[in-house]
């Protein structure tokens, strides 16, 4: 006799296998160096702001750090085997700046460079295309000590690091992302302080860091192209459509400000060559000095935009971060372990929002996924993460719909390949499609991984052949 759970699974799997994507659509999984690698001082690696931040008592909910994480630095072959078992054609990972340049600039570290050589070679050997991200939040502490993203010097150092990485790996890596989620690392790191370097400098901090990070991006794009003639270069933003909580004009205006801070500030700068006027006026004296040529540098043409999307934002007028002065409203609904509303339509809406207003040459969903409470492998040898499996099907349906309507979305990366260190949440809110037993470091593909693999297998095989 089949149970209702079995029936629900069969129905979900039928929906998964019925999804249709454009020819050549890329399916992958994403990770970030600090969240998986461990080995914080192996082979000459320098200290990053996340290494330092995790030592501050109370900032990580379970008091943990990425010191060991998934021990990927020693177990990358196991993780490539997981990617292969899932049938994924692409892997998005980040390079730890401090492995290549322990002090952030100056002397390069050959042993650190060699780690990614091994990873990249093994990925290619497995038929998996590497998508490298240069900055996923782990700024060298030595640069933080000189002002970090408050300093234009960091933007210049970032471009030099980008050049070194492109020179080191560009013969094999063609897909490059400069920054991952500048809104998050600039604002959570410098305005509100939940992320490294833990500064609570309000809007002035967020906007100052944002400008220098975007400048670093703009300087890095030509630096990468100079080293890798056939590079495909882009940036990843965390975007979500900002909806006003009510029709009250005060809430509508707050939602517009929030949209300006999170979405338009970054998109206008890169795709229109100027920050939005309303936000410049709002920030006023809080802006850092913006030099004459900065807009043009930041608007260096990119080949694609990566979108990380986890939720929608429902916004009302409130007290947070004056003069942004907003409040996030949590509508009734289903929420993940990190308190994000599960709202699959956010995917469709953001794809149209971006395409209608900015027409990027190509779009990738560079992250999407859901956190649960920690899971265990059951006696039947399975991790039945039904909520996550449904999340992927529900969100990929929205991607397929937007693609069928002509939005140039070329690929999708699940966040994340394996359970890992989830920043301030430590190990309490896993996002993986693969379970990791952190006591034994054993990997175990979850039910969601199996369902995602069913979807991915439809199109990745022909792409891998033609690539
Ligand atoms: C994104 C980050 C990623 C991960 C997911 C859940 O904001 O890019 O590292 O933490 O959220």
| Count of beta carbons in the 10 Å neighbourhood of residue 70 | 27
Q: How far is the CA of 169 from the centre of ligand 1 (A)?
A: 25
Instruction: Spell out the alpha helix ranges (H) of 276-361.
Output: 277-283, 294-298, 345-358
Residue nearest to atom 10 of ligand 1 (CA): 422
pLDDT at 467: 30
pLDDT at 1: 59
The stretch 262-288 carries a mean pLDDT of: 98
Q: How far is the CA of 39 from the centre of ligand 1 (A)?
A: 20
Using a pLDDT cut of 70, give the percent of the chain over it. Answer: 98
Please write the tens of the pLDDT for every residue from 141-152: 999 999 999 999
Q: How far is the CA of 368 from the centre of ligand 1 (A)?
A: 9
* Nearest by Cα to 368 from 352, 384, 345, 386: 345
- Transcribe 29-53 into DSSP letters: EE--HHHH---TTGGGPPPBHHHHH
The CB of 138 under 6 Å from ligand 1? The reply is: no
* Nearest by Cα to 212 from 137, 272, 298: 298
- Mutation test residue for ligand 1: of 50, 308, 342, 417, the one with most atoms within 8 Å of CB: 308
Q: From 2.60.120.920, 3.20.20.80, 3.20.20.70, 3.40.50.300, which CATH number describes the 20-459 domain? A: 3.20.20.80
Please write the tens of the pLDDT for every residue from 153-210: 999 999 999 999 999 999 999 999 999 999 999 999 999 999 999 999 999 999 999 9
Buried b (16+ CB within 10 A) or exposed e, 411-423: bbbbbbbbbbbbb
Q: How far is the CA of 445 from the centre of ligand 1 (A)?
A: 20
The CB of 368 under 6 Å from ligand 1? The reply is: no
pLDDT band at 466 (very low <50, low <70, confident <90, very high): very low
Counting from 1 in the atom list of ligand 1, the atom nearest the Cα of 180 is 8
pLDDT at 459: 44
The helix, strand and coil proportions of the chain, stated in percent and rounded to the nearest 5, come to 45, 15, 40
Q: How far is the CA of 79 from the centre of ligand 1 (A)?
A: 19
- The tokens for 462 are 């022909």
The stretch 27-56 carries a mean pLDDT of: 98
- Per DSSP, what are the bridge partners of residue 443? 436
Q: Are the C-beta atoms of 315 and 329 separated by less than 8 Å?
A: yes
For the annotated catalytic residues, the residue numbers are 181, 367
The stretch 104-121 carries a mean pLDDT of: 98
- The tokens for 338 are 């990190």
Please write the tens of the pLDDT for every residue from 382-433: 999 999 999 999 999 999 999 999 999 999 999 999 999 999 999 999 999 9
The CB of 180 under 6 Å from ligand 1? The reply is: yes
Q: Across all residues in the chain, what is the average pLDDT?
A: 97
Counting from 1 in the atom list of ligand 1, the atom nearest the Cα of 35 is 9
- Mutation test residue for ligand 1: of 33, 72, 181, 213, the one with most atoms within 8 Å of CB: 181
The CB of 208 under 6 Å from ligand 1? The reply is: no
The CB of 415 under 6 Å from ligand 1? The reply is: yes
Residue 35 labeled ligand binder: yes
């Amino acid at each position: 006799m089949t149970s209702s759970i079995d029936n629900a699974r069969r129905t979900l799997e039928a929906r998964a296998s019925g999804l249709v994507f454009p020819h050549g659509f890329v399916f992958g999984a994403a990770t970030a160096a600090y969240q998986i690698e461990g080995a914080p001082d192996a082979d000459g690696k320098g200290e990053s702001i996340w290494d330092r931040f995790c030592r501050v008592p109370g900032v990580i909910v379970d008091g943990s750090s990425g010191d060991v994480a998934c021990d990927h630095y020693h177990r990358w072959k196991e993780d490539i085997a997981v990617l292969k078992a899932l049938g994924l054609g692409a892997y998005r990972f980040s390079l730890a700046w401090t492995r290549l340049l322990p002090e952030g600039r100056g002397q390069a570290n050959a042993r650190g460079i060699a780690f990614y050589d091994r990873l990249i070679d093994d990925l290619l050997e497995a038929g998996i295309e590497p998508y490298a991200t240069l900055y996923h939040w782990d700024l060298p502490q030595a640069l933080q000590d000189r002002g970090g993203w408050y300093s234009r010097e960091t933007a210049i150092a970032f471009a030099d690091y980008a050049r070194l990485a492109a020179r080191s790996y560009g013969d094999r890596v063609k897909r490059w992302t400069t920054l991952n989620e500048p809104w998050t690392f600039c604002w959570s790191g410098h305005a509100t302080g939940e992320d490294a370097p833990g500064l609570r400098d309000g809007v002035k901090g967020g906007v100052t860091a944002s400008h220098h990070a975007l400048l670093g991006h703009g300087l890095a794009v030509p630096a990468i192209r100079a080293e890798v003639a056939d590079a495909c270069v882009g940036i990843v933003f965390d975007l979500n459509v900002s909806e006003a909580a009510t029709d009250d004009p005060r809430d509508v205006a707050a939602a517009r400000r929030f949209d300006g801070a999170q979405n338009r500030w970054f998109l206008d700068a890169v795709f229109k060559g100027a920050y939005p006027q309303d936000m410049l006026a709002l920030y006023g004296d809080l802006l850092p000095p913006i030099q004459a040529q900065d807009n043009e540098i930041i608007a260096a043409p990119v080949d694609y935009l990566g979108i990380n999307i986890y939720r929608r934002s429902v916004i009302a007028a409130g007290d947070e971060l004056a003069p942004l002065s907003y409040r996030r409203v949590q509508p009734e609904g289903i929420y993940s372990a990190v308190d994000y509303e599960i709202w699959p339509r956010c995917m469709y809406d953001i794809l149209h929002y971006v395409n209608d207003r900015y027409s990027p040459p190509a779009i990738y969903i560079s992250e999407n996924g859901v956190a649960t409470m920690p899971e265990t492998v059951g006696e039947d040898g399975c991790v039945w993460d039904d909520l996550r499996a449904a999340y992927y099907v529900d969100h990929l349906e929205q991607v397929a719909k937007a693609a069928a309507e002509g939005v140039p979305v070329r690929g999708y990366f699940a966040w994340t390949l394996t359970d890992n260190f989830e920043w301030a949440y430590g190990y309490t809110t896993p996002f993986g499609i693969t379970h990791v037993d952190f006591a034994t470091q054993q990997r175990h593909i979850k039910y969601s991984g199996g369902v995602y693999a069913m979807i991915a297998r439809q199109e990745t095989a022909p792409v891998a052949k033609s690539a």
